A and B are shown apart, each in its own frame.
Chain A
Amino acid sequence: MEGSSSEEGEDVNWTFYRDREEWADLKPVPQDDGPHPVVAIAYSEKFRDVFDYFRGVLKVHELSERALDLTRDAVELNPGNYTVWQYRRQILKHLDKDLKEEMAFVAEMISAFPKNYQVWHHRQVLVSWLNDASDELQLTAKMLALDAKNYHAWQHRQWAIRTFNLFQNELEFIEKLLNDDIRNNSAWNQRYFVINQTTEFAPEVIEKEIAYVLSKIKIATKNESSWNYLRGIVLHSESGLRKPSVIDFCDELYNSGNRSACLLSYLVDAALEQAEYGVVKENSLLSIDKALELCDNLANEFDVCRRGYWNYISGCLRVHMN
């Protein structure tokens, strides 16, 4: 704990703002924590100095080059300070700065703080101002290469794709990620997003997507992400979970001895759907009795952690027993 607080002290080239001649004209404004501060922080001298001068420039509303530099020091000390970012944007606008430079800076900040909300928001504002998202796919791809499930990166990527219509090569990108990690739920979600926003779920698209996801399920039958994707796709088909080609696939997998909890739970839900909405194609795997047996298997053998849930689902199934 003590070790890391000395990091700032190691910066031997650092000059406090209070010691800088070019800042001598500006009066720093100290923070007022009141008589009984709560969750007080023992700020380093550098932190205190930078933010005293930040309050100083804010007070006189100085929108200058040196104030811009100051905000950079401030966000580097606390990238979560949204006020400093907002003030920085004010200065950028006022000075009519070259935003390409700022784009490079925020890219650096994103690399340093990939899960910070403010850096990504700043990026989004800049892209909107520039009305140019030509670097966004590359930037987010780079961040996803480091953490393929970084929610911020996906959120930014979707925003850029939707706002600037950058769908063109997205399926290829996703394909690559799924080849790296078939369990990457974010990539599956992105696939759904792209289909939903481009071709939509026309019958031939549904067939194509089902074929695609079944081929992936074959590789990893216990992968919840691909099963969820399958469930999402068949939602758009009239026969839902009971879609004959999918049930045939499940039948084959089941009869080969596979007892993945994902497979069994798909069959249970399909049986429940059949009980509620009728038979699409006869299959003994979708009878209530079979589903009750599967729930039992799940509760006692293949998904023991969720025993309570499978007992609850058994109860739902029993409603349809007569």
Chain B
Amino acid sequence: MPPDYAIVPLARKRHIKYLRYYLELLPARMSIYDSIRVSIAFFAISGLDVLNAIDTLDESKKKNICDWLYSLQVLPNGSGDCSSCGFQGSCTLVAPDLNYQEHISEYACGHLAMTYTALACLIILGDDLNRVDRTAVMMGVKSLQEQDGSFRSTKAGSENDMRFVYCASCICFMLKDWSGMDVDKTIDYIVKSMSYDFGFGQGPYLESHGGSTFCAVASLNLMGKLHDTFNSKQLAGLKRWAIMRQESGFQGRPNKEVDTCYSFWVGSTLKMLDMLKAVNFEENRNFVMSTQDAVVGGFAKFINTVPDPLHTYLGLSGLSLMGEEGLLSIHPALNITERAYSHLQSIHETWSDPAS
């Protein structure tokens, strides 16, 4: 008989251990994550925060992590060009020898997902963002917006889609400065990406997807435009599309298998649409807990598969949305805890004017 996941407890201590391990030294097989180390750090740090365990990192550790993140910030070059500014995701192009080369700024560039997750980590760790060159980051963001309103991730060659619309929106919101975005154009892109089933694809004509739907809805939420962009019929259709993704846990698209990460992507979308009340929390918990590794810690995509940091974090944040005891509550659009969001608000209070 399969175990009754309804009574399985959250293996809190194991998850803390698992996430702390990811902050340290990873084995060689993890080299495929080498370009996105900051996002792994985010999953671990924000995961610890959701577990109400951020203080298991002592002050010096927190400071060291902040220093490391700042070491990845790309500052304006000699000519004042900010198109490479933002945060890099790893140290691949960090070496004293490389610093003085003019052409390096074509390659050592900020990346929107890394800038967003770096800022999130700094906020969670209690940093005051004083060392962020806000103006430069905004100019970097601005340079990545495409004609159609979407964003690409980096100057150094990248696709453009809804993921980076979301990252850009988070960065603007966190830095309390929307000068890096033509908001109307961005909204136009989001509207055009709404599909015939009222979910959102990564771009116009593309299939609706739980991840891109989250990105679209959260971006509008951060802009304060969610409720005036769509008519009531569209909003009702969107709510319907999202709630239909629950099977036990959540799937990302119709007729696909349920996967731990969509408990957050779709759960959070429903929360922003004020529809979390329609979700069956028990069924979701049963599924998510079936993907928990109670021995090593962490959550996996599916049952009987190996946990990874992304699914661990999104599993936890999804459970938090749905009222799991002992977890801090989540700001659904920023995907950080409400505790961290309060800290961000207190930082904002110290900024009299936007950076621009």
- The answer for the CA separation of A1 and B254 in the assembled complex, in Å, is 34
Residues A42 and B27 in contact, CB atoms below 8 Å apart: yes
Residues A34 and B29 in contact, CB atoms below 8 Å apart: no
Residues B156 and A41 in contact, CB atoms below 8 Å apart: no
Is the CB of A59 closer than 8 A to any CB of chain B?
Answer: yes
Within 8 A of B (CB), among A15-65: 29-44, 47, 51, 55, 58-59, 61
Is the CB of A158 closer than 8 A to any CB of chain B?
Answer: yes
Stretch in contact with the other chain, from A83-91, A102-110, A249-257: A83-91
Is the CB of A128 closer than 8 A to any CB of chain B?
Answer: no
Is the CB of B71 closer than 8 A to any CB of chain A?
Answer: yes
0/1 per residue, B2-35, Cβ < 8 Å to A?
0000000000000000000011111111111111
* Given A5-B29, A41-B25, A305-B246, also A34-B197 (CB < 8 A): no
Which A residue sits closest to B296, measured CB to CB?
A1
- Size range of the interface on B? 35 or more
* Given A83-B107, A186-B207, also A77-B31 (CB < 8 A): yes
Which residues of B have CB within 8 Å of A39?
Answer: 22-24, 26, 33, 37-38, 40-41, 44
Stretch in contact with the other chain, from A131-139, A168-176, A188-196, A285-293: A188-196
Which residues of B have CB within 8 Å of A58?
Answer: 93, 98, 104, 107
Residues B207 and A30 in contact, CB atoms below 8 Å apart: no
Is the CB of B278 closer than 8 A to any CB of chain A?
Answer: yes
Give the one of B31, B32, B201 with max A CB within 10 A: B31
* Given A8-B28, A306-B246, also A32-B91 (CB < 8 A): yes
- Size range of the interface on A? 35 or more
Residues B28 and A5 in contact, CB atoms below 8 Å apart: yes
| Distance of B307 from chain A, by nearest CB (Å) | 12
Of B31, B68, B195, B275, the residue contacting A189 (CB under 8 A) is B195
0/1 per residue, B23-66, Cβ < 8 Å to A?
11111111111111110110010000000000000000000110
Which B residue sits closest to A232, measured CB to CB?
B196
Give the number of A-B contacts (CB < 8 Å).
Answer: 209
- The answer for the CA separation of A235 and B279 in the assembled complex, in Å, is 27
Within 8 A of A (CB), among B300-352: none
Residues A232 and B93 in contact, CB atoms below 8 Å apart: no
Which B residue sits closest to A277, measured CB to CB?
B233
Which A residue sits closest to B284, measured CB to CB?
A305
- The answer for the CA separation of A306 and B279 in the assembled complex, in Å, is 7
Is the CB of B248 closer than 8 A to any CB of chain A?
Answer: yes
Residues A32 and B95 in contact, CB atoms below 8 Å apart: yes
- The answer for the CA separation of A197 and B29 in the assembled complex, in Å, is 44
Within 8 A of B (CB), among A181-235: 183-186, 189, 192-193, 196-197, 223-225, 228-229, 231-233, 235
Identify the B interface with A (CB < 8 A): 22-38, 40-41, 44, 64-65, 67-69, 71, 91-98, 101, 103-104, 106-109, 111, 153-154, 156-159, 195-197, 201-203, 205-209, 236, 240, 243-244, 246-248, 253-256, 275, 277-280, 283
State the 7 A-B residue pairs at the shortest beta-carbon distance, nearest first: A232-B196, A36-B64, A86-B157, A309-B278, A308-B278, A189-B207, A183-B255
Beyond A1-B29, A117-B159, A183-B254, 8 additional contacts (C-beta under 8 Å) are A37-B91, A58-B98, A81-B35, A82-B35, A83-B107, A155-B203, A185-B255, A189-B206
